[in-house]
Amino acid sequence: MKKVLVLNGPNLNLLGTREPQIYGRETLADVERLCQQTGAALGLEVTCRQSNHEGQLIDWLHEAGREIAAGPMIGVVMNPGAYTHTSIALHDAIKGAGVTLIEVHLSNVHAREPWRRHSYISPVARGVIAGLGLQGYVLGIEALTRL
Ligand code: DQA
């Protein structure tokens, strides 16, 4: 069975109560359940992880790169949270480890503050999905199966 890793970055553990007018009422557990259901329907093993720590996310990306190179993993769906706009280290990890990655944002980052329009992740992402809420994760997982 092929594998997909779903990574969520900082503050996404607060989903449900964090600015619900922007991010909705669904919790991280709801996101992860939906990803598991999507994986089950597509015959994929989906692992979901969340961290507020950049180094932890980098370690998981390195692991994913090794699994992609070895064959069992088809890619990563990642919502890097605010690290999207700040993290050269995540950019370098994705590039350096050779990770096939779909960047997902719940909100439409292009319709918000100007500084949310810049992403350090997009240049090393295979694709980018923004503004479609939880469906972005579903579409990201489906996209990985079609690449
Ligand atoms: C986000 C958008 C980011 O700008 C923000 O910092 C987040 C969440 C989104 O899912 O819309 O934490 O990635």
Q: Which residues contact 119 (CB under 8 A, 6 or more apart)?
A: 84, 85, 103, 109, 128
Q: Catalytic residue numbers?
A: 23, 105
Round the average pLDDT of the chain to a whole number and report it: 98
Q: Among the atoms of ligand 1, which is closest to the Cα of residue 112? A: 4
The count of C-alpha atoms lying within 13 angstroms of the C-alpha of 46, restricted to the half-sphere facing its C-beta, is: 26
At residue 138, the pLDDT reads 98
CATH code, 3-146: 3.40.50.9100
Q: How far is the CA of 60 from the centre of ligand 1 (A)?
A: 19
Over range 69-94, report the average pLDDT.
Answer: 98
pLDDT for the residue numbered 9: 98
Distance 40 CA to ligand 1 centre (A): 26
Specify the pLDDT at position 93: 99
